[in-house]
A and B are shown apart, each in its own frame.
Chain A
Amino acid sequence: MEATAAAPPQRGPKQGRSLHRFANPGRFLRLSGAVLPWLAAAGAALTTVGLVWGLFIAPADWQQGDAVRIMYVHVPAAWLASAGYFALALCSVLSLVWRHPLADLAAAEIGPVGAGFTALCLLTGSIWGKPMWGAWWVWDARLTSVLVLFFLYLGHVALVRAFDDPQRGYRSGAILALIGVVNLPIIKFSVDWWNTLHQPATISFTGAPTMSLGMLWPLLFAALGYTLVFAATVLARTRAAVMERRIRALLMARASEVAA
């Protein structure tokens, strides 16, 4: 890792201007390499604390009993599924408008991670729904819109990798990601706009949470932990992609040298 990071960084024409500072792969590898271990360790620690607290120590719900503990796995996964897609959309704007090269790589790496968190959300939601609602799955607006989010992630993963020319893949993926953004408000407000089996939000930006504090704290710990784990995973994958690209460039250069 250090050997590739120590390769002489190529100086771009416009150094030190806004976000394009991080477009320098050498600088990105140095900075992310310093941040990554801390991010990963903090994420793992917070997730462990949140989940152990939630699954073993927090009080059971008065009517759901211990089944309510699935919440500590399910709700942060659902938040991260949406937040991850928002990050994907931001990267897509950076890529389409400012042609930021790292945004392309990051978008391609957010896709599979976001799909994983969405799958976890759907899976745990199903396991929670069977004993509480009496059904594994219903086609209400909330569940359906999250399933659409899952398919958007999968579509992005497939589309980005479907072209021989990676630039065309990044471009198409970014457009798909931005079209899919309309789904985010639909997911958020589906439970308010339409009759759904899924209950409305417990925690809102405007009102007090309708949840006991003994349940709220572990949930917030788990949510922060999930966020850091998500960020660390995407960062590690992006680093790998940068290195991969660099190795490919070195191999190409050597091949053309040999040919000459």
Chain B
Amino acid sequence: MTRKRRRLWLLLACGLGLGSATALALLAFRDNLVFFLAPSELASKAPAPGRMFRLGGLVEQGSVRKSTDEGHPAAKFRVTDGAAGVEVTYVGILPDLFREGQGVVTLGTLQADGTFRASEVLAKHDETYMPKEVAEALKKTGHWNPASGPPPPAATWNTMQVKKTGG
């Protein structure tokens, strides 16, 4: 029994050491582990000019202007995190989920005029899954505008749907 007890304590001590070492390492590398920077972080953590980095945030409502650049589709839009916004220019095909109010992650460089030239735009979808009819109903009743922000909590529309199918 004592040997088992000793092995158990040894294991727990090793686990504690390993766990705290990992936590410290992750804390030290915290800034390098982010996949993208938010617009409001650019002021404090701006990468060197000309260096590629990812900029992420929501596509600002009413900011998308699509055009063509030498026959290629092009788009200009603002990426915002509520506190700050950055003008993004992009030449290429936007992902299907791209829309106003949607989260996006763009890869590119910051230009001298403060705009961000993206060479890649990825759409980030949120954790809400909602049937088409529910989204339509929410939009029609004015409970939610997809361009202006995240959908209302599921508890509100799930009961609505249950009532609809039940009745």
Residues on A lying within 8 angstroms of B by beta carbon are: 59-64, 68, 71, 93, 96-98, 131-135, 138-141, 178-179, 181-182, 186, 193-197, 199-202, 208-215
- Judged by a CB distance under 8 angstroms, whether B114 is at the interface is no
CA distance A214 to B130 in the complex (A): 9
**A213 and B96 in contact (CB under 8 A), knowing A138-B35, A182-B19?**
no
Q: Give 4 closest A-B pairs by Cβ, nearest first.
A: A62-B135, A59-B131, A134-B95, A140-B35
Closest to A59 in B: B131
Q: Is the CB of A197 within 8 A of B4?
A: no
Q: Contacts of B124 on A, CB cut-off 8 Å?
A: 133, 197, 199
Contact check: which of A63, A178, A214 meets B125 at CB < 8 Å?
A: A63
Q: Using CB atoms, name the residue of chain B closest to A174.
A: B11
**Contact A71 B129, CB 8 Å, known A195-B34, A213-B162:** yes
Known: A61-B130, A202-B129. 12 other contacts (CB 8 A): A61-B131, A63-B97, A64-B125, A97-B11, A134-B121, A178-B11, A178-B14, A181-B15, A193-B26, A199-B126, A210-B154, A215-B129
Could you tell me the distance between the alpha carbons of A179 and B15 in the complex, rounded to whole angstroms?
A: 8
Q: Which of B97, B121, B146, B157 has the largest number of chain A CB atoms within 10 A?
A: B97
Assuming the contacts A59-B133, A98-B4, A132-B123, asked whether A213 and B158 have C-beta atoms less than 8 A apart, the reply is yes
User: Who on chain B is nearest to A211 by CB?
Assistant: B129
Whether A97 pairs with B162 at a CB distance below 8 angstroms is no
**Closest Cβ neighbor of A63 among chain B residues:** B97
B-side contacts of A195, CB under 8 Å: 34-38, 56
A211 to B26, CA, bound (A): 31
A215 to chain B, nearest CB (A): 5
**For residue B11, which residues in chain A have a CB less than 8 angstroms away from its CB?**
93, 96-97, 178
CB distance from B92 to the nearest CB of A (A): 10
Residue of B96, B122, B130 near A135 (CB, 8 A) is B122
Majority secondary structure of chain A interface residues (helix, strand, loop or mixed): loop
* Residue B161 interfacial (CB < 8 Å): yes
Contact (Cβ within 8 A) B34 A212: no
- B residues in contact with A134, CB < 8 Å: 95, 120-123
Number of A-B contacts (CB under 8 A): 125
B112 in the interface (beta carbon within 8 A) = no
A200–B133 Cα distance when bound, in Å, is: 24
Can you list 30 A-B pairs with a CB-CB distance of less than 8 A? A59-B133, A61-B129, A61-B131, A62-B131, A63-B99, A63-B125, A63-B135, A63-B146, A97-B11, A98-B4, A132-B125, A133-B95, A133-B124, A134-B121, A138-B35, A178-B14, A182-B19, A194-B34, A195-B34, A195-B37, A197-B124, A201-B127, A202-B127, A209-B154, A210-B153, A212-B131, A212-B158, A213-B162, A215-B129, A215-B131
**A63 vs B153: C-alpha distance in the bound complex, in angstroms?**
17
**Is B132 in contact with A59, judged by CB distance below 8 angstroms?**
yes
Minimum CB–CB distance for A138 against chain B, Å:
7
- CB-contacts of B91-149 with A (<8 A): 95-97, 99, 105, 120-136, 146
**When the two chains form their complex, are residues A60 and B38 in contact, meaning their CB atoms are under 8 A apart?**
no
Chain A residue numbers with a CB within 8 Å of B52 are: none
* Measured CA separation A257–B141 after assembly (Å): 85
CB of B7 within 8 Å of the partner chain = yes
Do A132 and B97 have beta carbons less than 8 Å apart? yes
CB <8 Å contact, A210 and B128: yes
CB-nearest residue of chain A to B5: A97
Given contacts A138-B122, A210-B154, contact A182 B22 (CB under 8 A): yes
In the complex, how many angstroms separate the beta carbon of B144 from the nearest chain A beta carbon?
11
> Does any Cβ of A come within 8 Å of B18's Cβ?
yes
Is B33 interfacial (CB-CB < 8 Å)? yes
Asked whether B155 is an interface residue with its Cβ less than 8 Å from the other chain, the reply is yes
Contacts of A186 in B (CB 8 A): 22, 26
Chain B CB within 10 Å — which of A68, A131, A134, A186 has the most? Answer: A134
State the Cβ distance, A119 to closest chain B Cβ, in Å: 23
Contact A97 B8 (CB under 8 A): yes
